């Protein structure tokens, strides 16, 4: 059993032309950038900013966003090269299959399923908080049976509605996303401009609270793996900036989702780098500005953990502004959920098309041009998760999965540069191998700043994935069961070795 067998890029591209597996190419650079903004701006600002500032970094949460943005920028350069060179659904899974081999590709695909499904669940839980807040402002109280401890029908319901939208096609999804992104960005700009009038400079002191300082009420600080090993002092201080970055890193999950839409892009060689890098740059600037405004309005020891932006405006006597922000958050988080669900269905679809998962899920609807079966299955699973799993545990587990994907993509760029130097690359990651190595080191450092319990859950999920691969994927892989596939892969490998 050759666990390191690779699927050639040429094979991957030809798969996209098979009638029964063909997705419709309807996206351009604007749609991709809007997709990126739609999925990036969400939980990190509207939900997780409170926890990051209140119990980890204080006013220096802005630096947490900067550091997390730098890590993402390094990885984004690697993603841009791969997505423009291998314009196939699946993102890091497809890239790893072409460079690192089938077993690694399976592991990263299994990891992406974790990242995107749990990411959508996390956002759904955050969405329900803001939705209940908005309803309360209009005098409508959400009953306990719909939104209570241990169950969340609101979160599950919105997931199922968005699943229906995704099934209608990529064009419909992009149009819905565009409208909601315009509203969301407008609200973010409103927060920045309106909040400037209520900033108290005293709230920025100390900008980096001393290690061990008391934080905001309502949440207990969690230790990182580095702290458990005795290499970091704990919450706040310099180390607090990095533990905060490890948490708000969740806010940047999105540019890698853009890569999952490569197969549905009209000119991926040009448009994918624009969509990935453009959306990341715009969102980083907005994140830093919003975080500085919020901690300037409210002292970090008093910041609200669950809904920090809306609570900040209520604290300065502007409940109407708070309501507008909550409405914007509901709209904004809706786009995040939708694109995470879309990305997860495309990864599932790509793995199914390679027969590492049941091939029935790779069937594309002739009417809508979407993998409806994977979309529906994904929606049902995410809806169930949204009902029962707490927000914080989900967010940190998603973060470690995403960072792991970043590491493998960065390594894949180095490997593919050596194994396929002849490959035409529309976009080339600058400074190879330095930039990919820095991406690996920075991502791994953020992983170390996550709790030890998150690592344990991650390893358990990976162990389950490896077992599934050996029980099903390794035996049913298209590289094994399709003679033409295996023959072409062997010939390509011999050609590269002789060259």
What is the set of domains in the chain, with CATH numbers?
9-491 (1.20.1740.10)
Mean model confidence pLDDT for the chain: 86
What is the arithmetic mean of pLDDT over 478-489? 71
Q: In angstroms, rounded to a whole number, what is the distance separating the alpha carbons of residues 42 and 251?
A: 7
Asked whether residue 139 carries a pLDDT value surpassing 60, the answer given is yes
In the chain, % helix, strand, coil (3-state, to 5) comes to 75, 0, 25
Q: In angstroms, rounded to a whole number, what is the distance separating the alpha carbons of residues 428 and 79?
A: 10
More confident residue, 5 or 383: 383
The neighbour count for residue 45, using CB atoms within 10 Å, is 27
User: Rg of the Cα trace of the chain?
Assistant: 22
Pure H helices in 354-390: 372-388
For 456, phi then psi, to 5°, come to -60, -45
Asked whether residue 234 carries a pLDDT value surpassing 70, the answer given is no
Q: 148 pairs with which residues across the strands?
A: 151
Q: In angstroms, rounded to a whole number, what is the distance separating the alpha carbons of residues 58 and 76?
A: 28
Q: In angstroms, rounded to a whole number, what is the distance separating the alpha carbons of residues 64 and 220?
A: 19
Tell me, what's the pLDDT at 43? 60
Q: In angstroms, rounded to a whole number, what is the distance separating the alpha carbons of residues 276 and 386?
A: 28
Tell me, what's the pLDDT at 399? 77
Q: In angstroms, rounded to a whole number, what is the distance separating the alpha carbons of residues 38 and 76?
A: 17
Q: How confident is the model at residue 392 (pLDDT cuts 50, 70, 90)?
A: low
Contacts of 252 (CB under 8 A, 6+ apart): 40, 44, 68, 69, 72, 280, 283, 284
Q: In angstroms, rounded to a whole number, what is the distance separating the alpha carbons of residues 324 and 191?
A: 10
Handedness of CA 152, 155, 161, 164 (dihedral sign): negative
Can you tell me whether residue 208 is helix, strand or coil? coil
Q: With b meaning 16 or more CB within 10 Å and e meaning fewer, what string describes 420-436?
A: beeeebbbebeebeebb
pLDDT in tens, 53-87: 988 899 999 999 999 999 889 999 999 998 888 88
The neighbour count for residue 218, using CB atoms within 10 Å, is 13
Q: Could you list the beta-strand ranges (E) of 196-278.
A: none
Asked whether residue 300 carries a pLDDT value surpassing 90, the answer given is yes
What count of Cα atoms within 13 Å lies in the side-chain half-sphere of residue 195? 27
Dihedral angle computed from the Cα positions of residues 156, 158, 161 and 162, in that order, rounded to the nearest 10 degrees: -110
Q: How confident is the model at residue 497 (pLDDT cuts 50, 70, 90)?
A: very low
Rounded to the nearest angstrom, the gap between the alpha carbon of residue 268 and the centroid of all alpha carbons in its chain is 20
Contacts of 23 (CB under 8 A, 6+ apart): 16, 89, 170, 263, 264, 364, 369, 370, 371
Q: How confident is the model at residue 159 (pLDDT cuts 50, 70, 90)?
A: very high
More confident residue, 4 or 377: 377
Element (DSSP H or E) covering residue 152: strand 151-152
Q: In angstroms, rounded to a whole number, what is the distance separating the alpha carbons of residues 102 and 106?
A: 6
Instruction: Please give the model's pTM, rounded to 2 decimal places.
Output: 0.84
pLDDT in tens, 204-223: 999 999 987 888 776 555 66
pLDDT above 90: percentage of residues in the chain: 43
Rounded to the nearest angstrom, the gap between the alpha carbon of residue 280 and the centroid of all alpha carbons in its chain is 12
More confident residue, 389 or 334: 334
What is the arithmetic mean of pLDDT over 106-121? 87
Q: Is there a contact between 197 and 183 (Cβ–Cβ < 8 Å)?
A: no
For 151, phi then psi, to 5°, come to -155, 150
- Report helix angle 319-353 to 92-99, nearest 10: 30
Q: In angstroms, rounded to a whole number, what is the distance separating the alpha carbons of residues 46 and 293?
A: 13
Q: Is there a contact between 286 and 36 (Cβ–Cβ < 8 Å)?
A: no
Q: How confident is the model at residue 487 (pLDDT cuts 50, 70, 90)?
A: low
């Amino acid at each position: 059993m050759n666990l390191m067998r690779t699927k050639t890029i040429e094979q991957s591209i030809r798969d996209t032309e098979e009638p029964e597996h063909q997705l419709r190419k309807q996206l351009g650079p604007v749609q991709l950038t809007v997709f990126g903004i739609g999925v990036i701006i969400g939980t990190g600002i509207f939900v997780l900013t409170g926890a990051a500032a209140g119990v980890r970094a204080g006013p220096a949460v802005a630096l947490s966003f900067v550091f997390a943005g730098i890590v993402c920028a390094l990885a984004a350069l690697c993603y841009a090269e791969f997505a423009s060179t291998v314009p196939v659904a699946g993102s890091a899974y497809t890239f790893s299959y072409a460079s690192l081999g089938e077993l690694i590709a399976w592991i990263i695909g299994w990891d992406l399923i974790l990242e995107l499904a749990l990411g959508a669940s996390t956002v759904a839980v955050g969405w329900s908080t803001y939705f209940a807040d908005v309803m309360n402002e209009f005098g409508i109280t959400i009953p306990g049976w719909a939104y209570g401890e241990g169950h969340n029908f609101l979160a599950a319901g919105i997931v199922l509605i968005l699943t229906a939208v995704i099934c209608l096609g990529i064009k419909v999804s992009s149009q819905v996303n565009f409208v909601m992104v315009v509203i969301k960005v407008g609200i973010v700009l409103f927060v920045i401009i309106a909040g400037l009038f209520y900033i108290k400079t005293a709230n920025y002191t100390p900008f980096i609270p001393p290690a061990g300082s008391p934080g905001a009420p309502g949440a207990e600080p969690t230790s990182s793996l580095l702290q458990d090993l005795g290499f970091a002092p704990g919450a706040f201080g310099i180390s607090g900036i990095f533990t905060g970055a490890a948490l708000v890193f969740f806010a940047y999950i999105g540019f890698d989702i853009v890569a999952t839409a490569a197969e549905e892009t009209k000119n991926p060689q040009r448009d994918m780098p624009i969509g990935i890098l453009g959306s990341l740059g715009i969102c980083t600037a907005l994140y830093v500005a919003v975080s500085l405004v919020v901690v300037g309005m409210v002292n970090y020891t008093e910041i609200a953990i669950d809904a920090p932006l809306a609570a900040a405006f209520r604290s300065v006597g502007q409940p109407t502004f708070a309501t507008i922000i909550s409405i914007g958050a509901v709209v904004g988080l809706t786009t995040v959920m939708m694109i995470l669900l879309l990305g997860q269905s495309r990864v599932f679809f790509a793995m199914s098309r390679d027969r590492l998962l049941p091939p029935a899920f790779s069937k594309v609807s002739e009417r809508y041009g979407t993998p409806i079966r994977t979309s529906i299955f994904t929606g049902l699973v995410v809806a169930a998760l949204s009902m029962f799993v707490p927000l914080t545990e989900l967010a940190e587990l998603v973060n470690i999965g995403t960072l792991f994907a970043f590491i493998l993509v960065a390594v894949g760029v180095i490997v593919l540069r050596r194994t396929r130097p002849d490959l035409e690359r529309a976009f080339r990651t600058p400074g190879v191998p330095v930039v990919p190595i820095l991406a690996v080191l920075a991502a791994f450092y953020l992983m170390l700043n996550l709790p030890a319990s998150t690592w344990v859950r991650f390893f358990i999920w990976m162990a389950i994935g490896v077992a599934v691969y050996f029980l099903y994927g390794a035996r049913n892989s298209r590289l094994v069961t399709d003679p033409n596939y295996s023959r072409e892969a062997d010939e390509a490998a011999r050609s590269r070795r002789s060259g």
